[in-house]
Structures are given as C-alpha cells and as structure tokens.
Structure 1
Amino acid sequence: MLNQSAIIRQFPILQQKINGQALVYLDNGATVQKPQRVIDAIANYYSTTNSNVHRGIHTLSQNATIAMEKAREKVKAYINAKKPKEINFTYGTTDAINLVATGFTSLLQKGDEIIITEIEHHSNIVPWQILAQRTGAEIKYIPLTLEGKLDLDKYKSLLTDKTKMVAVNHVSNALGIVNPVKEIIDLAHEKKAWVLVDGAQAVAQMKVDVQELDVDFYAFSGHKMYGPTGTGILYGKEEILKQMSPYRGGGEMIETVEMKASTYADLPFKFEAGTPNICGNIVLAEAIDFMLDIGMENISGHKKSLVTLAEEKLAELPEVEIYSPNMPKSGAISFNLKLNGVHPSDVGMILDKQGIAVRTGHHCCQPIMARLGILGTVRASFAVYNTAEDVDKLVAGVKKAITFLR
C-alpha cells in the first residue's frame, strides 16, 4: 500500500491553493507534476554539469556525455530494449512518431498501406497522412465501437500483403482504455508489417517490455512520467532503424560531410541532430528512479483503483454520462453532463473554481468525438499522488456543477 502522505509531500506544486481551494490536480493525462528530486536534478545539472555532449574533451563535456548516456542505459533497462542504440532521444512522443513517419518516406511506395485506428491522438494520425501524401501509400483505419473497443475483426480484414505499417496507442488519452496491442502486433507481423505503438499514456502507468511485446517502434514522452517537458524516447529495433532515412540533418548525426554529399553516423546518433535537451534527457533517469522506487505494480494498481472508484461514484449521478464504462482503463475517465446546452468547458470552469484541474474538449482526438457524436468530454486523469479524497472532491464538484447548470 502506498504512503500517500509521503508521496504528496514530494510535489511542491501540490501544496498551493487555486481560487482559495486546495489544489486537486486531475489533468495528468496532459502532463504530470514533478517531484522535488526531479526539480533538484534539473538545478544540479545547470549548477554543476552544464556543457554540450559528445563534442568536447574537457571535463564538463565528458561528465555531461557520461550522464546522458547513463540515462539512455536507464531507459533501455526500463522498457527492456536489447541495446542502448535502440533508444533515441526525442523531444516528445509527437517528435518520435514524426521521426518514424519521415524516415519511412524512402521505404514506402505507391500502393502500400498504412493502418491506423479511430482511437488515436492526432499525433498518431497526421504524420501518417503526410507520409501517405508523400509516397502514394493508402491510409486505412480500425474503427471504434460505441463501447470504445477497436474492431479487431475489421482489423484482420484490413491486413493484407500490402500493409507496411500499423500505428496504435497503448492507452487512449481521451478515454483511458487499454488497447490489446500485443494481439495487434502479432497479427501485423503475420503480414510482415511493422508496428509503432504510441506509449505516451502507458509508460507511467504500467510495466512496458518492448521485447515481450515484440513491437518495432515504441514512442513516449518524459513529461508524462514525472520528467521534464521537451523530452521523449523513440525505441526502435536496430535492424529497422538502420534502413530509415534521417529525420533531421546537422551536427552530431554525421560521419563525414563534404560539399557534394555526407555520410551518417551510426545509431542512435543518426537520429539525434543538433544539441539535444541534455538536461532533460539526464533528468529523465531521475524520474524513472522515482517511479521504480515506488514500484510500477504499486503505481498501476493505485491508478486503476482510482479510476474504478471515480467511475463507480460518478455512475451514481443520473446526470452523468461516462464513456466506455466498465472497459479496462488505466489512469483516466471521460464523462459529460446530460444537460441540454452544457459544454464540457462549462463543467471544467466550475471545477476549476473549486481548485479541481481537469481537461475538457476533444483531447486532440476529433475522430473519437465524431464517432461518439459529441464535441468533447470532461477528462479526469490520475497520477501516483492522487487519492480517494481527490475522487470525492471531484464528485462533489460535479454535483455542484449539475446544480449550477441545471
């Protein structure tokens, strides 16, 4: 059982009041707050280590390089990749997905097929649409049932010998649903297609083993796992990364440069042009240690219990409609009020006046909202520092919103 008081004390931002009320932060699907040890690690880097990496023989540069490569090793172990060179530092999940989509420009041709899903964040839709426009490939998608499930029978019928890439999220940022990614990966591999999994909402909530999944690419962001913003990871199998074209050109990613042509560095530097977010990449290791110290099973169980509790208590209110009730979820719940003329933002603003931070709108998932026939939802998403009392405050806040908006 988690020591909630001890965990909460590690997050200085949670000690403040919003609109005169104690802060109840339930917008963790967008970004989580940072523990003091992560904040201290940022200050320590700039106070003691700040220097550019991989390019200097002086002590500070070497210290920074060693620290960043240790962080790469930490990420490798965290997701159980085979080699450090399969871990590419990016600026977030969006950047990582764009890296793959751009790198596949030379690997796809007209008539090839890309399968995405109706439950995706825009960041796992738009880059593939751009790739299709560049190459002449065709986009297909796995539809979403009204219950929130991906239609796997339809997926099986979509897979052909022309399928080259399948892209799916591990956990839906809009609905909190955990998707059957292992089954999706295995079916794609039967057709010799590659698979990219958007793990932005998963890596801080559950143990992820990329070798067990046998996934080809796995992308995630540091800021959703108690680390700094502007950090991210693309895991990719070595043999596939070697086939891809670089995403960006510049320093660090080259082997030789001549005026007529250049050759590229080995992995992972081939995809890490320019000065990286050195501080953020190094501090990401501290964020991982924070989670490991608590235990991923403890974190996963805690978040699931809060989602279950929130769903049960909100379901008791006849004015509340919960989306995808009783589906396997991790970390988030989406709902609306069944009151005429009430927009999710109306609910969000009333909750904010009570110190409760939630996310409202389409959550960068317009196809999901179109499928459900709504403009958006109210989303409450949980982190390790949230408590059952936070759920009670959310429900009380929703009751006030119902009274005010009725």
Structure 2
Amino acid sequence: MIEEVNRKKWMAIYAFLIMDVAQILFVSVLYVGIMIFLVLDFDITNFNPLISVSLFFAISIMQIAMLYITATQMLRQEDLIKLYPGYDEKTEWRSRYSRDEIVNWTQDLAKQSKVKINKIFLMNSPLPNAFTFNLPLFGSVVVVHSNTLEVLNEDEVKAIITHELGHIANRDSAVQIAVRMPSFFIDLIYLYIYILLGVGVASAIFLVGDFGLAGIRLVVLGGFFFLSRILATISQLFMKKASRSAELMSDYHAASVLGYQATINALIRLGQRVEAITVLVDEIRWLESLNPERAGKIAYAELMRMITHFPLDGIDEANARLVAPGVFLSTRLRHMREVYGIQLTDDQIQTAVDAAVPGLQKKRDETKPVSETTKDLQVVDWRKVDYDEDRRLSDEELVDLLKKLRENPKKMLFDSEAGANLLILDHPDFRRRVLFIAEEFGL
C-alpha cells in the first residue's frame, strides 16, 4: 500500500502542476482593457511567451526571497531555543529530557533515515507539534515543540522526530516549495484582473454614466471571480491530497524505524492532547462571550497564556472542560494585577475564582450539556480499550482498537475531527493514520 500512497502523492502533484499550467495559459491569452466593452477579451495574437516566462521567473524570485525572509524571522523567534549546533548554557532548561538527549536522538535517527540534519531547535509552546524544512543555505532544520516532550515518552518522541526526518528523506519541503510557485504567480495575475474589472465597473458608472454597462461588467467580474476560484480550489485540493499522502509516508517511515506501537501511541496521544486543547479553547471563548462589552475575539497571545496554565501533559478533554473557568478567571486576574497594580494575593485570587466557578459551570451545563451518547455515535474512544489504564496501548489493546475502528467505518478517533471535511485538510485524520500503519504492518 505504501507504493500506492506514493503513486497517489505524485499523481496529485502532477495534476496540481497541470492545473496551474492550464491557468497560466488561460490568463496569458486574456486581453484586459477598460475601453473593451466587457473589459476582458481573448486574443491569442497578443500572447507573448517571453513576457509571460519573464514575469513568472521574476515573481518566483520574489517568492523565494520572501520565503528566506520568513525562515530567517522564524528562526529568530524568542520562543525558539537553539540546540544544535551550539547551545547557550545560560538558557533556562525546563524539559523533562536533556538537550543532549534530544540532539543525540535526532542525529542517531537521522543516520538511520539516511539524511543529514544541520540545525535542531526546541520551541517553547503549550501546543504539541514538530516540523521541518529544508532550504539551500539553511540546510535541514528540525523544530520540536516543548509540549511534545511533555506529552510523549522517549520512544514516542523519537517516533515524532523520525516522522519529520521522513519528510526530509522524501524531499517534501523542496517539492512543496517548487509546486507552490506557479500558484502564487497565478493568484497575482488574478488579483490584477479583479482590480481592472473593478475599475471597469467604476468607470462605467462615474465616467460614462451607463449603469447597464456597469451591470454587465459586474456580471463579468462575478463570473470571472467564480471561475478563477473554482480552478484555484481544484488545484489546492490536489495539493492537499499530496500533503496527506506525504504525511502517511512519513508515518510509515517512523513506524519502520521505531516500530508501529510507539508510532501509533505517539499519534493517539498527540491527537488526544489536541482534543483537550480544542475543548479548553472552546470553553474559554464561551466564557469570553459572556462579557457584553467585549470588543472582539480573545487575543491569541492571551489565549496561549491561558493554555499554558492547563497541565502541559493534560490529555483529558473532560478535565479541560472542568478547569476552563478557573484557568480563564485566574489568568485574567493575575494579568490585571501585573498591568494595573491591583493589590490581590494569589490566595485572594484563588478564593474569588473558587467562588465563581460553580455558577459558571452550571450556566455552561444549561447552555451546552455534554452528551456521551452523541459522542459515542461519532467517536471510537481509544481509552475504552486501554484496559490497564496506563494511557498507552499494548499490542493486545491495539488489536481491539483496530477491530472497533474497522467495525465502525464512519467513526473518528477524536470528536474534533467528527464532521470535518477531510478533503480540505492537509493532514489525514488520526483514524486514517492509525489504520494505515496497522495495514502496512499486518495488524
């Protein structure tokens, strides 16, 4: 099946490129002018391939420059700790694993994956993640989020690192960059045409005073916008499919090096952590909505600060729902103390929060009662086959989980994925990933 996934990945990439070439040819034969009745016209005689190619390469060079600027800025973030090469001994270290352990694991796994790693970073974040990219001059870069180290054990951390190394081995970064250049070029051309069509509508109204002509041009603008978005969406769907296939191939790479059990458990625990954080964020946003004078959505920085106060190894969504009011209120009160100098001790804050939480929880239950029956219809809960309750699945427990997943083809592993449009996701759902590994290793 891995060969089939690889074939589908490249077929999706080729289809994406064909769609982009078709769109480039389409916009190349368009003739745009305000003096034209419909503003748009097709004129093959005006097609100059040299101009089109020159413009394409000019925009591609600009895009590459922007890519390097973005990568440079990302590697200079305050939350990013450089682990290799070189390390600032003065940097405070809070991880359960040492810096040397992470570096040695990554380098050893890179040798097994037959790739070379130039830089290794740790990003302080309450969200579990890891990513990699490979650029000339930068080399191969691996970034692991600190929360990944809090949620996973040693073998599981190694599995996630190996997954990222799989992306490097499969040259996914280079492919993604190469195939996205035509899309950027096309989007700029489309934007230029949208603007000219809009100017054509405005000129018909304000210069000519012909509202009938303005209406016709407006219809042309709407039709062209609709058509261009359909073409762009089809292209992106092919790219999303290629991305999902790339993730499955990296999962297979991790399972081949570290074993299927560590890889599947790593995926399940990361998915469960995301599930808990999703519930926590939903509850925080509901609490924020209770304020009738709120100016808008809660700021991202404040949201991250609140998530940090949730246990960093917490993977229980029921507990996330329970502690959300306390996290929300205590974070807000401490922030007001720091900013405005309000005289509140930690004990006073805790007393005030404890008094308010029961009322908020009652109000939330009345607004959105939790239905386990509804959840059972949508999700196969992996914890129900975790018979020893160690929050990890043994071979025997994995077999029972796989049986339940196969018996319930419409159920997801996590509630946050239920009802999602899987075609627009660039990652496969966790159910698909677990079953794929299981099928590849004959479970």
Band the TM-score falls in, shorter-chain normalisation: under 0.3
Higher strand share: 1
Structure with the bigger RCO (C-alpha within 8 Å, sep 6+) is: 1
Higher helix share: 2
TM-score normalized with structure 2 length:
0.23
Larger C-alpha radius of gyration, 1 or 2? 2
